[in-house]
Amino acid sequence: MTREVTFVEAVREAQAEALADDDRVFIMGQEIGEYGGVFRATQGLAERFGAHRVRDMPIAEQSMLGAGVGAAVMGMRPIVEVMFMDFIACGMDAIVNHAAKMRYMSGDQLRAPMVIRTQGGSGTHHGSQHSQTLESWFLHVPGLAVVMPSVPQDVKGLFKSSVALDHPVLFIEHRALYRTSGMVADLVAPIPLGQGVVRRRGEDVTVAAIGKSVHQALVAARHLEEEGISVEVIDLRSLVPMDVDLVLESVSRTHQLVVAHEAVERGGWAGELISRVVAEGFDELDAPPLRAGSRATPIPFARELETVMICDERLIARRVRECLGLVECSV
């Protein structure tokens, strides 16, 4: 059986199931208890599981994440919520120098199995300090998995896998998706990290994306279909590990590639994927792969300015046309 569930409801249910299935799991975060989270992702969990398992923490990300690492090393499986992804910069030492390295530095004697939940992204006009998508930072951190679901079903499946892993996972949600909905099975199987999925079949161009950008790529694909262009859309679902093989298989049929993400285009993870595809599938490409990313500027508060600088379906569609040589390349 399936039912319609919003994205944020799926996040809440995924955490509730993790708490119910394993007594070692507990949640730490700011305003997650009685208040239920700033986006209601933990609403009702404190009442159901108790304040000792849904713990309100002070506004001190480094301390909170450091406590999470310590709890994980001692055998617990914490879920640490960082309210806005922008604030994760305040806790980088705990994530990068401790959680991710624990297993390596101890000769596999110590591990830090924890899920770091956070959200970010544009579209809700929270301004430059509350709207960033910073996932590309963490591709450079060995020992840390990076996950970004795009639909409610995947939220639950990917979260199950993330909680079960014996190393830290950064679980990123785009808050503009929170009110979107999708069909979710009553029993959701774990989705292995590193297993992407084709969201739309196409023949002319492959577009690889993640999170909200998947939805924008699908919108672009529908518009391009009216122009006679057939676009295949791949949802990577996780960036570390990354399903490069799925992209290579698609490119072997379409011979064109566009990689889309909301993160700033300069230094974004699209460059990593493209370099892998060029190295392993160069002979399959009929044209240079292109990136569709946001401009290198802080995200404005004003809706009109935010719209101009963020990667959206219009930019993705333009990159597809550029890849096919239908318009002059602007990169």
Which sequence positions are flagged as catalytic? 130
DSSP 181-216: EEEEESSPPPPPTT--EEEE--SSEEEEE-THHHHH
CA 218 centroid distance within chain: 17
The count of other CB atoms within 10 Å of the CB of residue 275 is 11
In degrees and rounded to multiples of 5, residue 61 shows phi and psi of -60, -40
146 within 8 A of 172, measured Cβ to Cβ: yes
Q: Which of 64, 42, 128, 141 is nearest to 100 (CA)?
A: 141
For 153, the enclosing helix (H) or strand (E) is helix 152-164
- Please state at what angle helix 152-164 crosses helix 7-21, rounded to 10 degrees: 30
φ, ψ at 189 (rounded to 5°) = -80, 150
Q: Of the candidates 32, 38, 192, 238, which has an alpha carbon nearest to the alpha carbon of residue 120?
A: 38
Q: Please give the Cα distance from 58 to 234 (Å, whole number).
A: 39
- How many DSSP H helices and E strands does the chain contain? 11, 14
Residues paired with 225 in a beta bridge: none
With both helix axes pointing from N to C terminus, report the angle between 212-225 and 313-323 in degrees, rounded to the nearest 10.
60
Where does the chain show beta strands of DSSP type E?
2-6, 25-29, 54-56, 77-82, 115-120, 145-147, 169-174, 181-185, 197-200, 205-209, 231-235, 238-240, 257-264, 290-294
